[in-house]
Chains A and B, each alone.
Chain A
């Protein structure tokens, strides 16, 4: 008994030390102080402290996992309460104490010359404006309390825990994305003063959001799967109609979105759209065909520069083509470049391919700045005054209008990508990804299908570049660095390789979130790294992986019936054959 409780404490302390390290890290890199300037709840808690509080809660929760259950109640899903709370409190206290020690150390020793973010205001934030010793004590006590609260969630029943959790997450979302949500509420004629003061939630707003989200969560738990069950019970024809209705609704919302979101957020939306385009393109190369291309930015650059050169009034020949006339030329040019870049790397696989394509991406950027290309590409000055696309006198000249062509391009790209995935070409790519030599033994020309993948990826990726040029109006070589390739690859991995929905979610998370959380921007790469590591550990298939299992082989509804008949026939016929073969 004694040894087991000792082991439990050691475990809690260990979790607490990890939590402390995480807290100190967050403070040292500057996240805490940077975020503190924004409030979660006005006058109560800023984002910086909220982050630390979440760390303490989370590690309290983690430390209290796997506590022994109350003896005599084997049926009870709830663990012994005292031990659980103690475990959480210990972990939380250690977390707080580590942070407290850090405060003490930082106030005694000048750390700022090395760790630039360890400033007076940070220490003030951490020690609640008190002296360091008192602050450290407060941190420890508060840590213990939060850890215990985190652990206490184990004691709650599932149906209580879920809504509470949802409510807290809801409050966090409402405060983190306050600019977005304020704008949406404003466009929907909901008075926002009740909810928000500055960028933070008011106390009344917090309560309303918490209650509403928790209630919705409860409702979803009890009734949430009713619509799905109803859809599942539908006849194929009806189900098709339902799918169509849902799709139409989604498209309707997408069409109306810029009006709701306003100018700034439409800008973000457009940027997400560009990355969706590139993500869909790269997904064909990496997700379908399994060719790890780290130089995808080259096609973004080719699309942008070709558009700039063909449409801008300055530069070579000042062609001044219209955006739409230039489009097919740019796509054709980009496809050819894709094939040309693909040709020399046909024999390379895996890591080697990645390294070489990485080089190609850099070559594209350096080529653009080079003196040799400067007369055409503008060198370091880039290409300026690229005209806005116009259509019959209507100019797509701001973020709310350029959104529409981008949206259409995304929809077309997604459609093409989905059609290809389900075709003979898609199967050949998949086979190649799985095992190149065997694919070749199945009669698939590796050369042809690799080049096809590179060309297809380049063509779709070039759309990203084209709209980028049209949207920004001027392009500079600095926009086309390796980070773009990494970003596009990351969003595919995050969303789930080979999945189109995954690309969209990945783009929204990796490109949209940092735009909404401006405080986030300087930590962008840090978060990319953290998110990717977390995804690889927790959900290696990505957030929304492609569900190849559920895929329908038959195209039309009538065929399904045939299928059923065939199945029935097959099953009836099976025993006879089985008897003959006897190989089961």
Chain B
């Protein structure tokens, strides 16, 4: 059974058909990619799934449950977490606090517990800290314990990207949506992230959907690739199938024009 199922989803902004009748499925345990030129509606698709934008029509079924129209915090609670295209950490909170915030939907202490310092609350607080450290440990040497009290805003760009993934992991999702996780990373960092995404599935049992422009990463991680253009699905299949699909090549390159910037097929061959 599929973990996420999207049925004829529509989201228009005025005249812009950002998501225009998309059907889409993700099975549990898959790592899938969504590609497409800028403005193809990839991020809007994420926003609709995570409750940031309400869909105009269509159904989103997650884990057998209708989730369209829920608020973002409710979506997180049912088990979908995301990162953002432009990194959006809490810059004036420390590294570990950022991850600890992610534990929010999985914990319950409230005002009374905090004020009175109830044993249950303290225990929970300890568990949150331990969980956060464990998640930071997942990133290898990126966050040694000496950095956990540093402000997130002071991290390097790549580390911010990693921390954002860590924070999303802390919400203990079943499905993780990564919006251009390698944007601004150098090739070595991108390669590291490619391995990391594989480990997210293999070690943490996560299902991952990646929006990505970097075709090395798409090729490296994806079980399946979906291409969007003008809010519609234009191709779906293995990387090789999608990369050789004429419609996809056209969407990226325009008709019979050589443009090296974002071509999916050729640079991928090199890599």
Contact = CB atoms under 8 A, between A and B. Distances in A.
Given A441-B76, A441-B82, A577-B141, A426 B114 contact: yes
A419 B104 contact: no
A431 B73 contact: no
B129 A575 contact: no
Nearest to A417: B115
A431 B93 contact: yes
A441 B122 CA distance: 25
B104 A582 contact: no
Contacts of B128: 424
A442 interface: yes
B111 A437 contact: no
A4 interface: no
B142 A584 contact: yes
A534 B125 CA distance: 40
B126 A559 contact: yes
Kindly state the interface size class of chain A when it binds its partner: 35 or more
A583 B145 CA distance: 18
B141 A430 contact: no
Contacts of B111: 420, 425, 452, 456
A555 B145 contact: no
B109 interface: yes
Nearest to B88: A438
A279 to B, nearest CB: 18
Interface stretch (A145-153, A501-509, A513-521, A566-574): A566-574
B213 interface: no
Nearest to A582: B192
Interface in B112-151: 113-115, 117, 121-122, 124-126, 128-129, 133, 137, 139-142, 144-146, 149-151
Interface string B251-268: 000000000000000000
B115 A419 contact: yes
Interface in B60-75: 71-73
22 contacts: A419-B115, A420-B111, A420-B114, A422-B114, A430-B90, A431-B93, A437-B52, A437-B88, A440-B71, A443-B73, A443-B76, A444-B104, A444-B105, A548-B94, A549-B150, A559-B126, A563-B145, A574-B140, A575-B141, A580-B140, A582-B188, A582-B191
Interface of B: 50, 52, 71-73, 76-77, 81-82, 84, 88-94, 96-97, 100-107, 109-111, 113-115, 117, 121-122, 124-126, 128-129, 133, 137, 139-142, 144-146, 149-151, 158, 167, 171, 188-189, 191-193, 195-196
Given A438-B89, A444-B101, A566-B145, 18 more contacts: A419-B115, A423-B125, A426-B114, A427-B93, A430-B101, A434-B90, A434-B92, A439-B101, A440-B71, A440-B72, A440-B73, A442-B167, A443-B76, A443-B77, A452-B111, A549-B149, A583-B191, A584-B192
Nearest first, the 3 A-B pairs at minimum CB distance are A583-B192, A443-B105, A423-B114
